[in-house]
């Protein structure tokens, strides 16, 4: 294998090229990314960077010297527009073609948008810096979507002295992911900090002075942040022959086709630990999956399934939320430690007869670490809950 191409230069792409070099790959290694910035960390965009606690350069994942040491054919500010598996080449927006013997797709996702102009989204460094400049004391921010990203941005805006209106179409924020009980607890935190939370409302478009709801009501605000989910960046693969369905479809080895692998937010792979196909938009998964994909690409004869226990965290006000496992589609949730009312607890999640997840709010890390081990061991639900 003389030439490997990695498309996507964020956390997953960087972890891929680093792993390839660490594992002894000495051939040509091309890293293509559509942003002008060197690889940087995204979770702080809605946390420390947005608050102003961190300067932008603190998010950079590696120094220029570290990048140079990888001996990359680095192509920043360059978009991939197509893939020719038969010819083993990636087509670029400038009309050139980059041949490959092995390919890793790490193109990530982009924010969903609403009709209308003038709204912010929060995905890139430039997005976050632009929004931060507008979060001034006394200004009114409308956040559309009360998922983790929208909730974090709302919390930051309140800390900067903004009025915040948080609009959510579901009856309880995040209930589909963490359960109704936990969703209500997280929602109450916003109410306690002075956020105007409106659930069960649908925003139809961004207006000149705020947003317009489906029933015609206009909610006024100075700034609008749309945080209604994301779309995998797979359009450039439309004529490639690869299977695409809410991401690049991969097997348990992160393989999308012979010599083609995917990693990070764009990858939908079969996780044998849970027996389901999943696409995970978490920072930890991006790095871990990239390392697995790189190793399996280099040594397909000794490929190992990628079967992680997913992990994510969220900071909202003075509370940290941490979770292990795959919580979506759970059948039951039970509080195992602490107290919901105090916003200090651990909740466990059941799917079928198995423990599949655990979430902690306001608890020390050790309170949830043991649950990760149980999830990885495919523990039976009855071992933890008796009725």
Q: Which residues contact 202 (CB under 8 A, 6 or more apart)?
A: 169, 213, 214
E strand or H helix at 188: helix 180-192
Exposure class string for 358-378: b at 16+ Cβ within 10 A, else e: bbbbbbeeebbeebbebbeee
pLDDT at 367: 87
pLDDT at 386: 60
321, burial (CB in 10 Å: exposed 0-12, middle 13-18, buried 19+)? buried
pLDDT at 366: 86
Helix residue spans in 45-122 (DSSP H): 48-51, 64-69
Q: At what angle do helices 11-22 and 283-298 cross, to 10 degrees?
A: 40
280 phi-psi bin (left φ>0, alpha ψ -120 to 50, beta other):
beta
Please give the chain's pLDDT, 387 residues, in tens.
899 999 999 999 999 999 999 999 999 999 999 999 999 999 999 999 999 999 999 999 999 999 999 999 999 999 999 999 999 999 999 999 999 999 999 999 999 999 999 999 999 999 999 999 999 999 999 999 999 999 999 999 999 999 999 999 999 999 988 999 999 999 999 999 999 999 999 999 999 999 999 999 999 999 999 999 999 999 999 999 999 999 999 999 999 999 999 999 999 999 999 999 999 999 999 999 999 999 999 999 999 999 999 999 999 998 899 999 999 989 999 999 999 989 999 999 999 999 999 999 999 888 898 899 999 999 999 988 764
User: Which domains, from first to last, does the chain contain?
Assistant: 3-110+230-302 (3.50.50.60), 113-226 (3.50.50.60), 318-383 (3.30.390.30)
Own/partner long-range contacts of 127-136 (Cβ < 8 Å, ≥24 apart)? 127/45, 128/45, 128/46, 128/49, 128/50, 129/49, 129/56, 131/50, 131/223, 131/225, 132/49, 132/50, 132/52, 134/222, 134/223, 135/50, 135/160, 135/162, 135/223, 136/160, 136/161, 136/162
Cα–Cα distance for residue pair 181/212, rounded to 1 Å:
30
Contact 294, 23 (CB under 8 A): yes
Cα–Cα distance for residue pair 221/162, rounded to 1 Å:
11
pTM of the model: 0.95
């Amino acid at each position: 294998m003389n030439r490997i191409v990695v498309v996507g230069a964020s956390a997953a792409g960087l972890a891929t090229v680093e792993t390839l070099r660490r594992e002894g790959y000495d051939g040509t290694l091309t890293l293509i990314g559509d942003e002008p910035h060197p690889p940087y960390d995204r979770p702080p965009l809605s946390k420390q960077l947005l608050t102003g606690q961190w300067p932008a350069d603190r998010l950079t994942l590696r120094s220029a010297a570290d990048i140079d040491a990888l001996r990359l054919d680095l192509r920043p500010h360059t978009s991939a527009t197509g893939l020719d598996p038969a010819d083993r080449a990636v087509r670029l927006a400038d009309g050139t073609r980059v041949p490959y013997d092995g390919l890793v797709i790490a193109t990530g996702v982009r924010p969903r948008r609403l009709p209308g102009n003038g709204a912010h989204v929060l995905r890139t460094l430039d997005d976050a810096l632009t929004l931060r400049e507008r979060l001034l004391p006394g200004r009114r921010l409308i956040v559309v979507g009360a998922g983790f990203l929208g909730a974090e941005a709302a919390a930051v805006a309140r800390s900067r002295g903004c009025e915040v209106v948080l609009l959510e179409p579901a009856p309880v924020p995040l209930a589909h992911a963490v359960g109704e009980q936990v969703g209500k607890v997280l929602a109450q935190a916003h109410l306690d900090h002075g956020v105007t939370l409106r659930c069960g409302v649908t925003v139809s478009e961004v207006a000149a002075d705020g947003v317009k709801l489906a029933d015609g009501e206009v909610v006024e605000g100075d700034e609008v942040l749309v945080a209604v989910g994301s779309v995998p960046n797979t359009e450039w693969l439309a004529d490639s022959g690869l299977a695409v369905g809410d991401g690049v479809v991969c097997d348990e080895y992160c393989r999308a086709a012979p010599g083609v692998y995917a990693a990070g937010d764009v990858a939908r792979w079969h996780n044998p630990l849970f027996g389901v196909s999943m696409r995970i938009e978490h920072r930890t998964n991006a790095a871990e999956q990239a390392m697995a994909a790189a190793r399996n690409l280099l040594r397909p004869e000794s490929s190992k399934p990628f079967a992680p226990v997913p992990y994510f965290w969220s900071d909202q006000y003075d509370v940290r939320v941490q979770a292990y496992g795959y919580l979506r589609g759970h059948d039951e949730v039970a509080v195992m430690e602490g107290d919901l009312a105090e916003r200090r607890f651990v909740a466990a999640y059941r799917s079928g007869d198995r423990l599949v997840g655990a979430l902690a709010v306001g608890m020390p890390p050790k309170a949830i670490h043991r649950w990760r081990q149980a999830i990885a061991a495919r523990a039976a639900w009855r071992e933890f809950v008796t009725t």
